[in-house]
Amino acid sequence: MAVQQSSRQAPLKRGTRAEGTGTRWRDELIGWGFVAPFLVAYAIFLIYPVLRMFEMSFTYNSLVGAGGSQFLGLANYKELFSDPAFWSSLWHTALFTILSTPPLVIIALVFAMLTNRIRFAQWFFRFTFFAPFILPVSVAALIWIWLYQPGFGLISSYLGVIGLGNVGWLTDANVAMISIVIMTVWWTVGFNFVLYLAGLQEIPRELYDAAAVDGATPLAQTRWITIPLLKRTTILVLTLQILASLKVFDQIYIMTYGGPNFSTRPVIEYFYDQGFTNYRVGFASAVSAVFFFVILAASVAWFMYSNRREAA
């Protein structure tokens, strides 16, 4: 009502905001009012937990024990840095990221380029490659546990022909991580595939036609048109993929529980085990604080690198 009043008084000036103190004041109120519900939830379920995580990391604290916590200073961090199990779990997370990122990006790109080339049944391939991504992690994990069964599992049966019939896909410490990576590629490559497909569809066809007229081979077209014009998409895909890979936990928890003999346990499972199996909440908080900085450092480094690349 009030708005209608004032607008009738000065209809032409309304477009250029920040005129008159009444409008200003109202904008403040409306702005904060609209943001407030989100902000309250954000403060309670994100900001406060982050601060609490840091606070807890300096204490001895137990989820089950009632009562207060005991201030320990840096003791949790000291213990953490001298625990080889922590370093090896951090290495497993890094290893998973190193092993999973290249295939998840390259296969997605190849699938997208092929799909973009054909004229019909595109929807079928889009569906097929993307569908696994929709599945809950436990569904994908259960299916692959079954496929990986030694002896009567599908993979062992088919690969028996080339002498890989008795590989303990999930029970051999040397193979388990690779098996997890293969399952993850199958499960999540569709997301990157869709991003690449969208990127490809923004490249004008005329560019290829012109190149073809000039006698550029399909390989040359890929090298000099497709790849350079997809740079933005590639940076996006890589960023999202690295961040996602660093957070690996779910499928490993279900498929190997970090085993065999902790050979696949990622840092998030180390953190989970400390907090919810050993009930060492303060110590686990120190783990998450350290990992938080690892992710932060990785993000900042990657951001700076990709910005330079994009500028170049």
Q: Which of residues 10-39 bind another protein (CB under 8 A)?
A: 11-12, 14-15, 17-18, 27-28, 30-35, 37-39
- Shortest separation between residue 101's beta carbon and another protein, angstroms: 17
Interface segment toward another protein; rule CB under 8 A; list 73-81, 95-103, 171-179, 244-252: 244-252
Q: Can you name the residues that pair with 60 across neighbouring β-strands?
A: 70
Question: Residues 117, 166, 304, 309: which binds another protein (CB under 8 A)?
Answer: 117
Site residues (CB under 8 A) for another protein, limited to 159-218? 186, 191, 194-195, 197-199, 202, 207, 209-216, 218
Cβ atoms of 131 and 190 within 8 Å: the answer is: yes
In the block, residue with structure tokens 């290495």: 91
Q: Is 293 a residue that touches another protein (CB under 8 A)?
A: no
Site residues (CB under 8 A) for another protein, limited to 70-109? none
Cβ atoms of 99 and 178 within 8 Å: the answer is: yes
Question: Residues 137, 173, 175, 203: which binds another protein (CB under 8 A)?
Answer: 137
Q: What is the spatial distance between Cα 59 and Cα 75, in angstroms, rounded to a whole number? A: 8
Site residues (CB under 8 A) for another protein, limited to 218-237? 218, 224-225, 232-233, 236
CB-facing half-sphere around the CA of 171: CA atoms within 13 A = 8
Q: Which is nearer to another protein, 158 or 174 (CB)?
A: 158
Q: Can you name the residues that pair with 71 across neighbouring β-strands?
A: 59
Q: Can you name the residues that pair with 70 across neighbouring β-strands?
A: 60
- Shortest separation between residue 312's beta carbon and another protein, angstroms: 15
Q: Is 151 a residue that touches another protein (CB under 8 A)?
A: yes
DSSP state of 247: T
Reported residue count of the chain is 312
Q: Which is nearer to another protein, 22 or 218 (CB)?
A: 218
- Shortest separation between residue 175's beta carbon and another protein, angstroms: 18
- Shortest separation between residue 258's beta carbon and another protein, angstroms: 14
Question: Residues 72, 104, 238, 284: which binds another protein (CB under 8 A)?
Answer: 284
- Shortest separation between residue 283's beta carbon and another protein, angstroms: 10
Q: Which is nearer to another protein, 65 or 174 (CB)?
A: 65
Q: Is 132 a residue that touches another protein (CB under 8 A)?
A: yes
What would the two tokens of residue 51 be? Answer: 């601060």
Q: What is the spatial distance between Cα 22 and Cα 6, in angstroms, rounded to a whole number? A: 9
Task: Give which of 258, 261, 286 is closest to 273, Cα–Cα.
Answer: 258
Residues 6+ apart with CB under 8 A from 137: 187, 250, 251, 254
Task: Give which of 74, 250, 96 is closest to 176, Cα–Cα.
Answer: 96
Q: Which is nearer to another protein, 223 or 309 (CB)?
A: 223
DSSP state of 172: -
Q: Is 7 a residue that touches another protein (CB under 8 A)?
A: yes
